[in-house]
A and B are shown apart, each in its own frame.
Chain A
Amino acid sequence: MSKPLSFQSMILALQNYWGSHGCVILQPHDLEVGAGTFHPATTLRSLGPQHWNACYVQPSRRPSDGRYGENPNRLQHYYQFQVILKPSPPDLIGLYLGSLDAIGIDRAKHDVRFVEDDWESPTLGAWGLGWEVWCDGMEVSQFTYFQQVAGHDCAPVAGELTYGLERLAMYIQGVESIYDLAYNDAGVTYGDVFLKNEQQFSAYNFEAANTEKLFQHFRDVSDECRALVARNLPLPAYDQAIKASHLFNLLNARGVISVAERQAYIGRVRDLVKAVADCWVEQVK
C-alpha cells in the first residue's frame, strides 16, 4: 500500500468523492453541536419534498467525553464527515463502498461489514434504520435511512452517512493514539493542532463552566427560539435550539443535572426542535 492519507488529505478525498457524485460541499455550521446530524443541512433539509445532496465536515462537541488529552481514543471535540442524500439513491451502499476505495481502503484485503444498528436521536425526535459499518471489526461509519425527524415522516427518505474521521484516520495510518495522527504530509500531528484544546476545554467542561449562567443561557435561548418560531423564522430559531442542546450537554458534563431531570431537559430541547420543524415544514411543503 502506498503512503496512507493524512487527516486532511482524507477529508479532501471524501469531499472530492461526494462532490463528484452531486453533493454540495458545505462548510461546518458555525455553532457548537453534538454531531453532524444537528447541522441544519441535515436536520431541516431532511424534511420537505425537495431533493438535496450535501456533504460537509462538522466539528462535534461532546463535553462529557473529554479526558484532558490523556486518553488516546477519546475527545470532547472531534470531526464527523457527514453526507446527506435525499431521496436516498439506488445502491447507496455501493456508493459508500466507493468512498472507502477513495480513501485507500483495499476491500480485497479488508473486511467491510454492515451490522444492524438502528439510529435514534431523542433530542431531535428522529429515527431511522441502518447499520454501523465495520472495517476489520472497527466501527468506521454510521449508515442510516431517516424515517422521521422532529416527529415528521421523511418524505422522501434521506440516506445519511456519518464517518468518524479520527477513528478512520487512525485505522488508515495505523497509529494507536489520536494525537499521533499525521494531520498533513509536512510533519504536523493532530496533537500539535488539538492537544491544548482538549486540555483546556476538558477543564472548562468539567470544572470552570459557570453553571448558574449556563442555566440562565438555557432559559434565554429557549425563550428566543419560541419567539422566533412565533415570527415564522425557523432557521434562526433552529440555531437557538442547537444552542439549547449544547448548553444542556455542558450542564450535564458539569454534573448538575440529576438523572431524573435529564429526561425532562432532553424533552425540552426536543420540544424546541419540534416547534422549529413544524414551522419549517410549513414553509417547504
Chain B
Amino acid sequence: MFLLELQSEEIPARMQAAAAEQLRTRFVDALKAAGLAHGTVTADATPRRLWLIADDVAAASEGSAEEVKGPAATAPAQAIEGFLKKTGLTRDQLEERETPKGVVLFAMLRREGRSAGDILAEVIPQIIRDFAWPKSMRWGGASQSTAAPRWVRPLTGIVALLDEQIVACEAHGLTSGRETRGHRVHAPGVLTITSAASYLDQLRAAKVLASSAERRQIIAARAADLAAQAGLSLIPDEGLVAENAGLTEWPVPLLGRFDPDFLSVPREVIVLTMRTNQKYFALADSTGALAPAFICVANLDATDGGAAITHGNQRVLSARLSDARFFWEQDLATVRKGGLEAFLPKLETIVFHEKLGTLADKVERVAALARWLCESGAVAADPAQAEQAARLAKADLVSATVGEFPEVQGLIGRYLALEIGIDPAIADAIRDHYKPAGQGDDVPIAPVSVAVALADKLDTLTGFFREKMPPTGSKDPFALRRQALGVLSILQAANIRLPLRTLFGTDETADQLMDFFADRLKVQQREAGVRHDLIDAVFALGGEDDLVRLLARVTALQTFVETEDGTNLLAGYKRAANILKAAEKDGPPPAPPASGKGEGAESALATALEAALPAAQAAVAEERFTDAMAALAILRGPVDAFFTDVMVNDPDPSIRARRLALLARFRDAVHGVADFSKIEA
C-alpha cells in the first residue's frame, strides 16, 4: 500500500474535491505511463491536506523490449551518430540486418523493470510540479524568484510511504518523510505515520477525519439530530454541508438561537445572511415556518462543550440580523409613506448602460413594452396592471435591503408591495420578472409576470443589439444569451404567440436579432432532441417569427422526415431541386411550356399536386402541421414514379419546359411547409 499526503495551509473549501480528483487522475496516469500495476486508488482532502492511498502497488514495473529501426549501414557517419545518441547505444551494440533495401541497422532497446520505490520517487515531484490549481501563489524565501514553486497556499510537508518505507523525494523545497500534523488544537504536535496502512487511523486518533464523505455524513446527521432534539427540522442544504466539511477536520455541529423578533425580517434575507455570511444551516418549525435558531459547525470538541462558541456565533448573527432589520424597517417606512414609487427618483441616478440611459429610462421603456404586449393581445393581462408592475419592478434595487443583500432583488420588492396592499399579481410580477435566471429556474406563467419578464428581457436584447453590442464568441458581458433563452422559455411555457418582427422591425438589426434567436432556439432545442437543420429549414422560409408556431412546425417536420414517406419525399425533393438548379444555370427555358399535363407519371404527379398543394396550404394556415405533412406525403408515390418513368430533359424544348415547371410547382409545394434544402439527409 502506498500513501501520499501533501500538507498545506488551509485549502479553500470549494477547491478540495476537484483537487483530490486531480491528484488521483495524475497519479493513475503517471503509474500507467511507468507500467507500474496497482489496485484501487483513493484520494481525498481536508482543509490542511490532500491525500492519496493506492492499494496493491506492484513491487516493480514489467520489463520491456523494443526494436528500433535505424539508418542503413552505409549511411553517412553523422546519421549513424545521431541514431546512437537517440538510442543511447554504441555502434557495436547495433544489429545489422539484411532487408530488401540493403543492410539496415537495428537497435534492441531493453527496458528493465524498475522498482516501485524508484518510480514513485520520480512520479511524486512531477505531480506536485504539474498540479493545476484554480488560483495559486508563491510564498516564503523561495519567492525571491518569480519562478518559485506555486501551490494553492503554502505547501508545508510531504508524506510518502510505500508500506512502512519512506519514498525519498524532493519537491517545492520539501523533502518527503513520515511526519504530519493532527488537529490544530487537539493534537498540535508532530504526528509520525508508521505505515501507509495506519495513516487513516492515526489521523483519526489525532482528531482529523480524513474522509470528506465521513465529515459530510457527520455534519448532516448530527445537525438533523440537534434540530430534532429542539423540536425543529433542518432545512437541507447539500452545498452547505460540503462547504462546512471543507472547513473542518473535526466537525462538531452546534445549535444556536436568535431573538424571535428578527423573524419580522423576510425569511429569505435571514436565510441568506445565515448561509452566505456565516455558513449556518437554517431550521424550520413543524408548520414549515422559519425557526429562530441555526446550526453552525465548529472545528473542535470545545472544553466547555461548545458553550462559548455557540454564544459567540449567536452574537455575530444577532449583530448581522440587527443590521438586516434596520435596513428592512427603513424600507418599510419608506414605502408606507410614499409607496414603492418613493424609490423611483433614485433610479434616475443609476446608469443602466452609458448608451442605454439610466435605470429610470429602462423602466419607462419596459413599462411601455409591457403595456404593448398586452394591448397587442400577445399576453392576456390587463395592460394597465402590466404597465404598473413594470414601473415598480426595479424600485427595490435602491432599497436599503437590496443594497445590502443584492441576491434578494425582486423578492424584497414583492414583500414591500404586499405590505402596502398592492395587487398580488403585481407583487408577484415584481419578484418574478427576473426569471428564469438560468436553466432549471422557474419560468413565470402568470400573465402580468409574463408581460414584465418578457418586456424587461426584450428591452435589454433590442437595446444592446441596436447599440451594436451583441455577444461575440465567448464574450457575452451582458448575459444576452441567457436573456434570449429566458424569452424562449417564457414564450413556450406560457404559450405566448408573439410575432417578433412586429417588435424588431425589418432592418439589419432586426435580422441579426432573428438570427440570434434562431441560434438560441437551436441550442435550447438540442437538449430536447430537436434537429437544428429542421429549425433552419423552417426559419429559412422567412416570415416565421412566431416561435411557438415555429416549434410546432419543426416538431411535425421532424416526425415526418423520420418516416419512410418523409425520407423518400426528401430524396425526391433534392433530386427535383438539383435538376431545377442545373436548368436555371442554363438560363430560362427557351420555349413556352407545352400545354396540358402530359401523360402517365407526369400527369399523375400534376394531378396529385393539384390536390396536395391546397390541402397543405390550408393545413399550414390553420396550424395543423401534421396534416400539412400528411398532404405532402401523398406526393411521395407520384414523385418516385415521375423520376422512374419520365425524362425531364425531353428533346422537345416545350415539353422540357413543362416538366421543369411541374418540378418547380412540386418544390414550391414542399416549401410551403419547410425549406427542405436545409435538411441534412
Contacts and interface: CB of A to CB of B under 8 A. Distances in A.
Interface of A: 49, 73, 87-93, 97, 106-116, 118, 128-131, 135-138, 145, 147, 153-157, 159, 171, 176, 258-260
B278 A147 contact: no
Interface string B333-351: 0000000000000000111
Nearest to A135: B312
B13 A111 contact: no
B127 interface: no
Contacts of A137: 278, 280, 296, 312-313, 316-317
Contacts of B137: 128-129, 145, 147, 157
B135 interface: yes
B583 interface: no
A113 B315 CA distance: 17
Contacts of A90: 140, 154, 156
29 contacts: A87-B143, A87-B144, A88-B140, A89-B140, A90-B156, A93-B9, A106-B303, A107-B185, A108-B185, A108-B302, A109-B304, A109-B308, A111-B312, A128-B137, A136-B309, A136-B311, A136-B312, A137-B280, A137-B313, A138-B315, A154-B138, A155-B145, A155-B146, A156-B138, A156-B143, A157-B138, A171-B312, A259-B350, A259-B351
B300 interface: yes
A83 B616 CA distance: 82
Interface in B292-340: 296, 298-300, 302-304, 308-309, 311-313, 315-317, 319, 323
B141 A109 contact: no
A114 B47 contact: yes
B302 A115 contact: no
A259 B313 CA distance: 36
A116 B299 contact: no
Contact of A87 (B9, B140, B146, B323): B140
Q: Which 10 A-B pairs have the closest CB atoms?
A: A136-B312, A116-B12, A114-B10, A157-B143, A137-B313, A111-B298, A156-B143, A137-B316, A129-B137, A138-B316
B26 interface: no
Nearest to A259: B351
> How many B residues are at the interface, by size bracket?
35 or more
Given A107-B185, A114-B47, A259-B350, A136 B135 contact: no
B354 interface: yes
Contacts of B248: 113
B14 interface: yes
Given A131-B10, A157-B137, 4 more contacts: A110-B308, A155-B143, A259-B349, A260-B351
Contacts of B304: 109
B478 interface: no
Contacts of B319: 73, 176
B247 interface: yes
Contacts of A115: 247
B184 interface: yes
Contacts of A159: 139
B65 to A, nearest CB: 48
B351 A129 contact: no
- Main secondary structure on chain B at its contact with chain A? loop
Contacts of B9: 92-93, 114
Contacts of B349: 258-259
Contacts of B313: 136-137
B431 to A, nearest CB: 25
Contacts of B275: none
A228 to B, nearest CB: 29
B204 interface: no
A153 B146 contact: yes
B312 A156 contact: no
A79 to B, nearest CB: 19
Contact of B302 (A111, A130, A153, A260): A111
Contacts of A131: 10
Interface of B: 9-10, 12-14, 47, 135, 137-146, 152-154, 156, 184-185, 247-248, 278, 280, 296, 298-300, 302-304, 308-309, 311-313, 315-317, 319, 323, 349-351, 354
B309 A111 contact: yes
Contacts of A155: 138, 143-146
A136 B309 CA distance: 5
B227 to A, nearest CB: 18
B13 A110 contact: no
B302 A110 contact: yes
A88 B154 contact: yes
A136 B316 contact: yes
A108 B146 contact: no
A116 B13 contact: yes
Nearest to A1: B308
Contacts of A87: 139-141, 143-144
A109 B140 contact: no
A156 B12 contact: no
Contacts of A136: 308-309, 311-313, 316
A223 B312 CA distance: 49
A50 to B, nearest CB: 11
A171 to B, nearest CB: 7
A247 B637 CA distance: 85
Contact of A154 (B143, B300, B308): B143
Contacts of A88: 139-140, 143, 154
Nearest to B246: A116
Contact of A91 (B14, B141, B156, B351): B156
B333 to A, nearest CB: 16
Contacts of B185: 107-108
A156 B198 CA distance: 39
Contacts of B296: 137
Contacts of B152: 129
Nearest to A159: B139
Nearest to A131: B10
Nearest to A157: B143
A145 to B, nearest CB: 5
A116 B139 CA distance: 17
A240 B139 CA distance: 31
A77 B63 CA distance: 72
B139 A138 contact: no
Nearest to A158: B143
Q: Looking at A116, A135, A155, which has the most chain B CB atoms within 10 Å of its CB?
A: A116
B309 A157 contact: no
A131 B9 CA distance: 10
Contacts of B278: 137
Nearest to B312: A136
Contacts of B47: 114
Contacts of A91: 156
Contact of A129 (B153, B156, B323): B153
Contacts of B316: 136-138
A109 B317 contact: no
A159 B300 CA distance: 27
A218 B312 CA distance: 43
A60 to B, nearest CB: 20
Contacts of A128: 137
Nearest to A97: B184
B135 A129 contact: yes
A111 B154 contact: no
Contacts of B144: 49, 87, 155-156
Contact of B300 (A93, A111, A176, A260): A111
